[in-house]
Amino acid sequence: MFGFLKSPALSPRRHRLKESALFASLTPLELKIVDGLMHERCYLGDEIIFGEGEEGQALYLVMAGRVLISRALDTSIEVVAELSAGAFFGDLALLDNSPRNAQARALDNCELAVFFRADFMALMDTDAVIGYKISLALARHIGGRLRDWMTGKPRVEAL
Per-residue pLDDT of 113-148, as tens digits, reads 999 999 999 999 999 999 999 999 999 988 988 888
Per-residue model confidence (pLDDT) at position 150: 84
Burial (CB < 10 A; 0-12, 13-18, 19+), residue 124, is middle
pLDDT higher than 50, residue 51: yes
| pLDDT value at 4 more than 60 | no
Name the percent of the chain lying above pLDDT 90: 64
The fourth-level CATH superfamily of domain 11-150 is Jelly Rolls (2.60.120.10)
Binned at pLDDT 50, 70 and 90, residue 3 comes out as low
Domain boundaries, the chain: 11-150
Q: Check: pTM over 0.95? Answer yes or no.
A: no
Q: ∠24-107-103 over CA atoms, to 5°? A: 80
Tell me, what's the pLDDT at 7?
54
Q: What is the pLDDT of residue 157?
A: 44
Has residue 16 got a pLDDT over 90?
Answer: no
State yes or no: pLDDT of 156 exceeds 90. Answer: no
Residue 110: per-residue pLDDT: 96
The CB-side HSE value for 152 (13 A sphere, CA atoms) comes to 0
In this model, does residue 159 exceed pLDDT 50? no
CA–CA gap between residue 12 and residue 149 (Å, rounded): 33
